[in-house]
Structures are given as structure tokens and as C-alpha cells.
Structure 1
Amino acid sequence: MSRIPDFKEPDDVRARLEETGYLVDDGLAMACFLALRLHRPLFCEGDAGVGKTALATALAEALGAPLIRLQCHEGIDASQALYDWDFPRQLLHLRAAEAAGAVDADRLEGELYDRRFLIARPLLRALETCPSVLLIDEIDRADDEFEAFLLELLSEYSVTVPELGTVRARVPPVVVLTSNRTREVHDALKRRCLYHWFEHPGFDRELAIVRRRLPGVSARLAEQVTALVQTLRSADLLKPPGVAETIDWAEALDALGASEVDTQRALATLGSVLKYREDAERARDLLAARRDP
């Protein structure tokens, strides 16, 4: 059975994550270390595009474990997240048994609810996969009932399938929950988790992230794009750009052959970094006042 590496201190986690290209600060390194050591879920909250989902991907790579993702949405329920029965296969099996003359109803019913007909959704797969990293993405989009179900599952890392019995994780998965704070998640779920708020990074750290993710982009272009995004975040936008948008913008300008930012290309590629018309109009005013180098 594979095991999660036994990190001795937060700096060990930081080093392993940085090997994957994901840069962390002291607070996040500590949160990840404690989540691994204490087998506690890590609740990551913050604006979209600040690296919450990317953290789960980096953890999976750093730990050498598969990433199992549950994308939450309005109306999600336990059958979509946990397991379901493969009705078409059950029906085929039933018809085949009838054609063969099987008449033992109890035996046939037992066969219909055999493990081979069970479709494991992300939560069940995470319990059965050791080790694994379970990403529960955008939990704020789910409803109260699903939160309550999730709280129970994360308390015991087990679930009961009535027809098969209890499935319990041999080693709890590493769980990362993310929220863009479109609504407040209940305190009961947060109390079960370690909590980390994702701030937009400062200039130096954001530039380091861009350079790490886009090593082929010129240093001048990376520096100018990062500085522009930092300026845009202070411009009272409807949706301030995250680090993901900074990377997208630098990548778009690089694809156009730019080695530094010029106003014409920056205006032409605003769709890479801003997603609202009002924000784009405000950015155009800022860029129009900018002098090209």
C-alpha cells in the first residue's frame, strides 16, 4: 500500500510543492503541513483565480497520488457525488438471467446489487483509493443538505452502501475544499477543517509565479504584465484578476511575439485578463494613459 510522504516540518512541504512549480508562503505551507499530519481537510477560501484549485493539483503531484475532483454545483446530491447503480447493466443482466431460465429471485436480486454494478463517484473513489487527494471544488455552490452530508462523511471517512455494507478509507484522503465565497459556508463544516484565506499575492511573489509557470516568456514582459495586473486590482473592478489571469495575459502577449508590453497589444488582449465589459472599459482608460517604453 502506497503511503503519503512523512514530512517533518512545513518547509519540507514547501520544498516539495515548489518542485511542482507551485509557490507557497509561510501560512499556506503550515496549513498544508498540518492538514497532512493531522488528517484534516483544508478549507481554501478566496477570490477566483488565486490558486486554490491549483493547490490540490500540486499536492497530488507532490505526494505522487491521484487527484480525484468533485465539482460542486447547485442541486448536487449524494448519488452524484458518492455512488450510483449502473441501471442499464443491471437490466441486461436481468434479461440474460431470465433468458437462461433463472428463477431464484433472491439470488438474482443479490446479483443485481453486486459490486460490479456499482458506479463509484468521486467521494467513494477517494475513500477506496489509497493514497489520494480529493478536491471538493466550489463547495459554496452546493446547498445546505449536501454540506451536512459532506460533514458526516469527512468526520468518519466512511460511508455505508446499504446493499454492500460500510466502505471505510484505510488511510484518509488528503482533502482540499475550495470556496469563492459566493455564499457563506456553514460553520460546522469549517470547524471540521483547517482554514486558509488566499490573498492576491504581492508583486514579487506573483512575478515569481509567472516566471515559474512561463519560463519562456521574457523577463521584461513578465515584470510589466505583473505590474499592470497589480495596478488593475487597485482600480475597484467588479472582478479583480487573479494569478491565473496574469499568467493567461502574459501567455497571450508572448504568443503575439511581444517581449514587452505595448498599449496596442495590451488593449487587444484584455479578454485574457478581464471578464466584464465594465472592467475592460476602466482598464482601457488606464492603459490609454500609459506610455509605452
Structure 2
Amino acid sequence: MTGAGRSARLTIGDVTEPFAAPEDLTAALDATGYLADDGIATAGFLALRMRRPLFCEGEPGTGKTSLALALATALDRPLVRLQCHEGIDAAQALYEWDFPRQLLHLRALEAAGDGKLDVEAAERSLYTERFLLARPLLRALGAPCVLLIDEIDRADDEFEAFLLQLLDEYAVTIPEYGEVRAERPPLVVLTSNRTREVHDALKRRCLYHWLEHPELAREVSILRRRLPEITEGLAKQVSEAVHRLRAMELLKPPGVAESLDWARALLVLGRDELDVAVAARTLGAVLKYSEDLDRVRAKLDALFA
């Protein structure tokens, strides 16, 4: 950010998109270790070309956040992450003024002027980039990046409404400083676990993609890609077991992250096979609620029959 006053503007240079087709993006994501299906690759490609935010919704553990990380790596852009939570507001997401430093600055000016202060000049010097604490949304306007707005469903209606203008214009106005605008919008990825419905006004501004848990063959491939030391047989056993667990009525069905944790646990134990005995000992790697553990242990023999 440069300059001060109400005419201050922030611009970034143009960047040529590196992908000519969704298949190119698929290959680039594959190189990062993220195995994208055709739907994910097409959604990401369109978001880049159309310069529209990508709204990814799905159950926890389906790879929504990992997609944003992989896109940042594939595009060779920094990832700027805003983790949403209940009560998040614009100050936490956008900017704050560094009041302690501003106060020290005023005292230094006063000391330099032998106790006299040019009020207007002092006020102008306070509201400059030097004292501006950029939070994730403001940082995302400053350079080509991937902006991840994670778990937007945890935020409230007021914060959603605040995001609308940002996603429409990729600009914000700071009353004491001026307008900050990105000539080239960041690639925005919003994620939601659907703990509540996000308003239509926000969804209309985005391309939408629902992420499912991966099919069996793709999950085996993910395990083998992320854990090169795992055998094909063990990767298949873990994936099959996780798919059976997802078919049960659990409080939290396991996602890909849990599949990876389970596979890592088995590798740490030196196991090359998943049987009933070792599954019983390692369920804590894949299930996170005592009720789910009890339900699965009661049916463990049937699950591995």
C-alpha cells in the first residue's frame, strides 16, 4: 500500500493465467498431491477464468480446505487464510489501527515540538500505512494470491453482508485512509460445512461446487500419493473400511484426513494389514466421538467380515 489520504488506491499488476483447459489444472493440482476429479478441476478453472469466487460446500473432510492450499501451490501464489468463527467482525477480518504505536508517535511529535502540536499535521501522520494493521481480507487485495475464507457457515449474517461488497468490487474504503482496490482480484475460495445455510445473496456471487467424499479408487490413490510407503493392499483395506464407516449413522463420518491418519497409525505400528484386532486398537485415529466408537466396536466383526 502506498500513499495516504482519501485518494489512496492499491493496484496490482496483471498476471497471465497458466491454464488453457480444466485438464491443465488437473495436472497442476496432481503435481501438488491433490487428486482432483473432473468436477473440481472444471470449477477451479472457471473460477480462475471468470474471476468469480468458488464456493465449496460439503461434509467435513472432503478436501475443501486442501483444494485452496493446492490451488495456491499450483498457481505459485501465496495463500491468505481467513478462518471464520462465531462473532467475527470486519475489524478482525479487514484492518485495525495500531493505537499503541499511534500514541507513541503523538508523544514523539509533542516532544519534538517542545509541547506544541500541529493538530492537523499530526492527525494526517497518524492514518498512514505505517500504523495500518492489515488483516487477511486487506492483505488479499495487495498482491496476487489465493484467498481462503474458511468455514463461512460459522460466521453470522452481518459478516456475510459485509463480504458482499468486497466480493462484488474487490475494494474497501477505510474512512481515515481512502480506497484500497485490487485491479486483479484474488482467487477466492469459500468453504462451508453446511452447519447452517449461507444466504443466497452470497452464493449468487460465486461459482458453486459440492464436494463428495472420494470414491473408493480415488481414495486409494490419495493414500498412496500422500503416503508413498503404504502398500496397495493396505491402502485398499483402509479405504474400504472408511467407506463402510461412512455408510453407518455416525455423529462424524470420517473424512480423507481421518483415512490418512488411520493409515499413518498402522504404518507407525508396523502393520501391513488391517484386521479386527488392530482396527479395535486404532479406531481413535479415525473416529472422534465416544458414541461413534461404541457403535463401531459393537459391529466391528461384521465390518471386517
* TM-score normalised per structure 2: 0.92
On the 8 A contact 1:218/1:260 being kept in 2, the answer is no
1:130-155: per-residue Cα shift (whole Å, max 9, x none)?
Answer: x1000000000001110011011100
**Matched residue type, 2:234:** L
Cα distance, 1:244 vs structure 2: 1.0
Local SS of the residue matching 1:68: strand
Per the alignment, residue 195 of structure 2 pairs with 182
Per the alignment, residue 209 of structure 2 pairs with 196
Per the alignment, residue 102 of structure 2 pairs with 90
CA distance in 2, matches of 1:222, 1:158: 47
On the 8 A contact 2:14/2:184 being kept in 1, the answer is no
CA distance in 1, matches of 2:302, 2:49: 51
Number of matched pairs: 291
Aligned pair partner of 1:240 in 253, 256, 259: 253
Per the alignment, residue 62 of structure 2 pairs with 50
**Matched residue type, 2:141:** L
Per the alignment, residue 132 of structure 2 pairs with 118
On the 8 A contact 2:149/2:190 being kept in 1, the answer is yes
**Matched residue type, 1:268:** R
Cα distance, 1:277 vs structure 2: 1.1
Tell me, yes or no, if structure 1 residue 7 matches structure 2 residue 22. no
Local SS of the residue matching 2:191: strand
CA distance in 1, matches of 2:87, 2:304: 49
**Matched residue type, 1:125:** R
Q: Which runs of 5+ in 1 are unaligned?
A: none
1:198-251: per-residue Cα shift (whole Å, max 9, x none)?
Answer: 111110011111111111122221111111000111111121111111111101
On the 8 A contact 1:85/1:117 being kept in 2, the answer is yes
Moved beyond 6 Å, runs of 4+: none
1:1-293 matches, within 5 Å, as: 1=13, 3-101=15-113, 102-129=116-143, 131-289=144-302
Local SS of the residue matching 2:298: helix
Cα distance, 1:92 vs structure 2: 1.0
**Matched residue type, 1:270:** L
1:172-210: per-residue Cα shift (whole Å, max 9, x none)?
Answer: 000000000000000010010000001111100111111
**Matched residue type, 1:233:** R
Cα distance, 1:4 vs structure 2: 4.9
Q: Is the deviation greater in 283-292 or in 109-118? A: 283-292
1:238-293: per-residue Cα shift (whole Å, max 9, x none)?
Answer: 2111111111110111111111113222212111111111111121123234568x
Higher relative contact order (CA 8 A, sep 6+): 2
Local SS of the residue matching 1:128: coil
CA distance in 2, matches of 1:249, 1:83: 40
CA distance in 2, matches of 1:79, 1:291: 52
CA distance in 1, matches of 2:276, 2:109: 71
On the 8 A contact 1:4/1:63 being kept in 2, the answer is no
* TM-score normalised per structure 1: 0.96
CA distance in 2, matches of 1:114, 1:15: 44
Cα distance, 1:2 vs structure 2: 6.9
Local SS of the residue matching 2:163: helix
CA distance in 2, matches of 1:249, 1:98: 63
CA distance in 2, matches of 1:4, 1:264: 54
On the 8 A contact 2:35/2:222 being kept in 1, the answer is yes
CA RMSD in angstroms comes to 1.3
**Matched residue type, 1:68:** V
